[in-house]
Chains A and B, each alone.
Chain A
């Protein structure tokens, strides 16, 4: 089994109830190993139906559905379900069983020896950061968030590779929900699980998914990665579902540093003399210079102060080179970079490529422009007011880092 082998394949699946009620129609979807697939849509869009067909809680009425490359009907339904984790909205912990019994329910069905079950329970409760003493408690003695943590690990107990989650955090308060989202995401990444997650919350989908499937009226409207979905919503329905606000904000979320950086930064090599450095600074009217070697690898910077202090004692740029420089990678997302730059009070940040070669700089002014865009929208720009922005002409690291 390779990581690229599809785990679940829907091939023109439909589900029509007796009486002609169409729940799902012409659904074709491939879920790869390691995918975190979010099915999103309004109620009645067929997202839950689609998910429930994977573990044969519902039987498709048309098309073929394959799990691990084999038709789903070649599996015994009960055995199939034991291979697939299942987490539901109402948590579904058995109230008459202890947490231990709840976690190890599927292993028990699979007739694991007691010792192995005990071990697994210990391991899992640690995984969700709950004390081992909880194993002997009953679900009613835990808070809702703690219960759903148990609900999540219960789905992992028999080493299931595929986990189905049906709006698992819908009933939780926002803080607990966020904590659980992070837990699920990190478990999924750490353990390499494949997750199919039904939700109607776009924020949740954008946060968790590697692949978002937008459904409406029993049809798939669009299947895309979160970034792609934000960049190219296929229809007005998808736009509405995402919301204009998020689409605008998303600009910062999906733009890379490389896309807005200024090319042609002012740089100098370490071997040059200080006179050359001063001449260059004067010519470009800057107070710092980025220092790169002959191949363009970023080495550090020099600024006008150290130049002034060491002018008599030193001769070359390498003598006063300050190697402590903060830089970002050109493929880094802007949203991750903005905070760091603004909070550190940096006026500009050099941008490097994967070989650490200097590619350009991102100035504070460029970031500020971007933030204005997200606040006012790009069409409704206030008149340019240079006094409000940090004065920065292109490639002008005005002050020291």
Chain B
């Protein structure tokens, strides 16, 4: 082993532990996605609510901002005190970090819908629910999607740290490498897929976001 350079060691590690890396990859991915989905399920309605009641927006976005400023390792530790070691702690952490981009983008997307369109929709006899589902949401969807994209990229990074509270994922491989002597190749085997996942997630969601852009607004 010692006569191989780092890259050769990296490929050697991958070829012998491929299944393991893959399983950690999917675990990592799912932890991030669950956290973000949870944040979307809660955050989008909050965003819609504060877009309707603008007075609440300052307070809600303020709280989300404060959460965002807490360093992720500190946040993990604090939540760990409540939920203990394990995957749930990481999912909750991801959820909390995803709230701000999702709530904020939902809010921004909604208040940026042309008010004359909403007026026209109301004047044509749409109910409040129809206005939301047929006009406001379709027009705000691309902006909301951008928030989810942001959240997912951040979430993949946070999940990597989640290895410290025993959640598994690619972070686990990185920690293993840092603990081994000459573990550079093992660190790479954890770090490169993490980076790859973040980049691919960003590209894919970026494409989805462009698809959701109202067609008429495309140049």
Asked whether B124 lies within 8 Å of A82 as measured between CB atoms, the reply is yes
Segment at the B interface, from A33-41, A85-93, A215-223, A296-304: A85-93
Least Cβ–Cβ distance between B212 and chain A, in angstroms = 9
Assuming the contacts A94-B117, A96-B138, asked whether A105 and B124 have C-beta atoms less than 8 A apart, the reply is yes
B141's nearest neighbour on chain A, judged by CB, is: A96
Segment at the A interface, from B94-102, B125-133, B149-157, B176-184: B125-133
Assuming the contacts A86-B120, A88-B120, A90-B116, asked whether A81 and B217 have C-beta atoms less than 8 A apart, the reply is no
Chain B residues whose CB sits within 8 angstroms of the CB of A96 once the complex forms: 138-139, 214-217
Asked whether B216 lies within 8 Å of A106 as measured between CB atoms, the reply is no
Task: Kindly state whether residue B123 has any CB partner on chain A within 8 Å.
Answer: yes
Please, how many angstroms separate the alpha-carbon atoms of A154 and B122 in the complex?
A: 14
Least Cβ–Cβ distance between B120 and chain A, in angstroms = 3
Task: Kindly state whether residue A55 has any CB partner on chain B within 8 Å.
Answer: yes
Asked whether A81 lies within 8 Å of B124 as measured between CB atoms, the reply is yes
Asked whether B214 lies within 8 Å of A82 as measured between CB atoms, the reply is no
Please, how many angstroms separate the alpha-carbon atoms of A139 and B114 in the complex?
A: 15
Asked whether A82 lies within 8 Å of B125 as measured between CB atoms, the reply is yes
Could you say which of B119, B135, B218 contacts A88, with CB atoms under 8 Å apart?
Answer: B119
What total of chain B residues lie within 8 Å of the partner, measured CB to CB? 22
Chain A residues whose CB sits within 8 angstroms of the CB of B124 once the complex forms: 81-82, 86, 105-106, 109, 154
A85's nearest neighbour on chain B, judged by CB, is: B124
Task: Kindly state whether residue A311 has any CB partner on chain B within 8 Å.
Answer: no
Chain B residues whose CB sits within 8 angstroms of the CB of A55 once the complex forms: 123
User: Using an 8 Å CB-CB cutoff, how does the interface string of B132-164 with A read, 1 for contact, 0 for none?
Assistant: 001100110000000000000000000000000
Chain A residues whose CB sits within 8 angstroms of the CB of B123 once the complex forms: 55, 57, 81, 86, 88, 164
Asked whether A92 lies within 8 Å of B117 as measured between CB atoms, the reply is yes
Asked whether A138 lies within 8 Å of B215 as measured between CB atoms, the reply is yes
Task: Kindly state whether residue A140 has any CB partner on chain B within 8 Å.
Answer: yes
Chain A residues whose CB sits within 8 angstroms of the CB of B130 once the complex forms: 109
Asked whether B125 lies within 8 Å of A78 as measured between CB atoms, the reply is yes
Chain B residues whose CB sits within 8 angstroms of the CB of A79 once the complex forms: 125
Chain B residues whose CB sits within 8 angstroms of the CB of A140 once the complex forms: 216-218
Chain A 77-127 interface residues, beta-carbon cutoff 8 Å to B? 78-83, 86, 88-90, 92, 94-96, 105-106, 109
A57's nearest neighbour on chain B, judged by CB, is: B123
Known contacts A55-B123, A81-B125, A141-B216, then 5 further A-B pairs from the complex at CB < 8 Å, ordered by chain A residue = A88-B120, A89-B116, A94-B134, A96-B214, A109-B125
- Interface residues, chain A, with chain B CB atoms under 8 Å away: 55, 57, 78-83, 86, 88-90, 92, 94-96, 105-106, 109, 138-141, 154, 164
A-B contact pairs, 22 of them (CB 8 A): A57-B123, A78-B125, A81-B123, A81-B125, A82-B124, A83-B125, A92-B117, A92-B119, A94-B117, A94-B120, A94-B121, A94-B134, A94-B135, A95-B139, A95-B215, A95-B217, A96-B216, A105-B124, A109-B130, A138-B215, A140-B217, A140-B218
